[in-house]
Amino acid sequence: PTAALALTTWSAIAPIARPDPSVFSAATIERGRLLAAVGDCAVCHVGPDALGLAGGRGLHTPFGTVVATNITPDVATGIGTWSYPAFERAMRQGGSRDGHNLYPAHPYTSFTKATDADLQALYAFVMAEPAVTHVPPPTALAAPFDNRVLMRLWNGLFLRQGTLTPDPARSQAWNRGRYLVEGLGHCSACHSPRNALGAEKGGAAHLAGGTVDGWDAPALMALSTAPVPWTAEALYTYLSTGHDAHHGVAAGPMAAVVTELAALPDADRRAMADYVASLGTPNLASEAATARAEALLSRAAVEPLDASALGQRLYNGACAQCHEPTGPTLFGVRPALALNTGVHADRPDNLTRVILEGITEPAHSALGAMPGFATTYSDAQVSALLRYIRARFAPEAAPWARVEASVARVRATLVPSGMVGAAPPVPPP
């Protein structure tokens, strides 16, 4: 009976006349703007003009590409006729106004934790944005996933509704951080592994590392492979500037997250850092973290015995000028490879992707850009480079296995992010 109940369809919520934005106070709209930044609405719902919320970006899932829809208040092609209850249902339960189920590529499994007041402010913000007439390409998943009614069953299994109960034993900042990280911030959408049905794994696997658009989103808790353990201070710096000297930069899909978080008041980024730092990573004093970073850097100054000569030559020619810790900083930052989580990770995917693609859209323009080497280097050359970097900068870690295969796999998925119809899922390591 539960399954039968779960499979009944939603009813449509009656359309309304487009709300007049002047019914919302400026303070409510401003609050909604900040919450939209926490929720990365504009990252996924970005329109063809690279602005606004007009939709069209493809989200790659193992089940196919789900296209973000137009959520501007356009009456014909956006959500201009949506009442607040319709909006709330999409944010909390994954139901669209006309009654069809949404795929969880729209992270309602996290958004469901947002408070009523915050969702109302978000609604006000969205309704006060300019209406853009735009019909994004439709989502067309292969059978059986094209049957959206199945998501009713999926929700029955995996959607846990309800807001978070504040933990009185923790500080107000910690509770605020948890609310932002676990709710609208949907950090787990990328940083948690998923099961065979595409649902985030919970419990001990929560924030234990996931994949997104061919990138590994590293573990944020005790399983973190960051060579220098994250402190609350380092997390705050990283989330605020996209860079921390003991860790490196926020690139790939994390760059846009950091760009959005810049809109928030400082206290909110601090709160998020406090919460993430509490997730089980040893909470190192900052002097201890500095000592650890210095030890890793001085170890990396020694040339490894088993380094490939080709890899070393390529590194010296192509990377050293910008990445050796001692050189002059001409522009941007000089991330030390010895401190980079990706260099110490179980597989070389993030490092490979950075080498091939470069970094064209920094989290902050002050970080500088990095050239990509996809057209310069063959798979064999990139593999030699990877082996050298691993041996020199992460000598305690086992050499990566099947490096050539992984370079070929990453190269095959090099597409400008967000183009519809790309990137097959990445197999587990």
Residues of this chain, 45-84, that bind ligand HEC according to CB under 6 A: 45, 59, 66, 68-69, 71, 79
Which of 29, 121, 127, 250 contacts ligand HEC by CB under 6 A?
Answer: 250
Assess 139 for contact with ligand HEC (CB under 6 A).
Answer: yes
Of positions 257, 271, 391, 410, contacts ligand HEC by CB under 6 A: 257
Q: Which residue of 34, 251, 277, 300 would you call a contact of ligand HEC, by CB under 6 A?
A: 251
CB 53 to ligand HEC: min, Å: 8
Stretch 349-378 residues interacting with ligand HEC (CB under 6 A): 350-351, 354-355, 359, 362, 367-371, 373
At 108, is the secondary structure helix, strand, or coil? helix
Nearer to ligand HEC, 167 or 361 (CB): 361
Residue 160: how many CB atoms within 10 A of its CB?
9
**Residue ranges in 159-188 that form contacts with ligand HEC under rule CB under 6 A:** 181, 184-187
427, with CB counted inside 10 A (0-12, 13-18, 19+), is exposed
Burial class (CB in 10 A: 0-12, 13-18, 19+), 265: exposed
CA-to-CA distance for 163 and 160, rounded, in angstroms? Answer: 9
Cβ-based nearer residue to ligand HEC, 208 or 276: 276
Listed ranges 4-12, 163-171, 319-327, 406-414: which one lies at the site for ligand HEC (CB under 6 A): 319-327
Distance CA 348, CA 401 (A): 9
Question: For 65-91, b where at least 16 C-beta lie within 10 A, e where not — what string?
Answer: bbbbbbbbbbeebbbbbbbbebbbbbb
Specify the DSSP element, H or E, that contains 123.
helix 116-128
64-67 and 215-217 as β-strands: parallel, antiparallel, unpaired? unpaired
Q: Which of 80, 209, 342, 348 binds ligand HEC (CB under 6 A)?
A: 342
345 is a site residue for ligand HEC (CB under 6 A): no
Handedness of CA 211, 214, 220, 224 (dihedral sign): positive
Decide whether 168 or 349 has the Cβ nearer to ligand HEC: 349
* 332 binding ligand HEC? (CB under 6 A): yes
Q: Does 335 bind ligand HEC (CB under 6 A)?
A: yes
Among 19, 183, 229, 248, binds ligand HEC (CB under 6 A): 248
The residue among 1 and 132 lying less far from ligand HEC, judged by its C-beta, is 132
User: Does residue 121 bind ligand HEC (CB under 6 A)?
Assistant: no
CA distances from 226 to 209, 238, 296, 322, 346 (A): 12, 13, 12, 21, 11
By CB under 6 A, name the one of 322, 414, 415, 422 that touches ligand HEC.
322
Query: Binder to ligand HEC among 10, 24, 103, 400 (CB under 6 A)?
Result: 103
Beta bridge partners of 249: 243
Please, which of residues 201-230 interact with ligand HEC by CB under 6 A?
Answer: 212, 215, 217-218, 220, 224, 226
User: Cβ of 422: how many Cβ atoms within 10 Å?
Assistant: 17
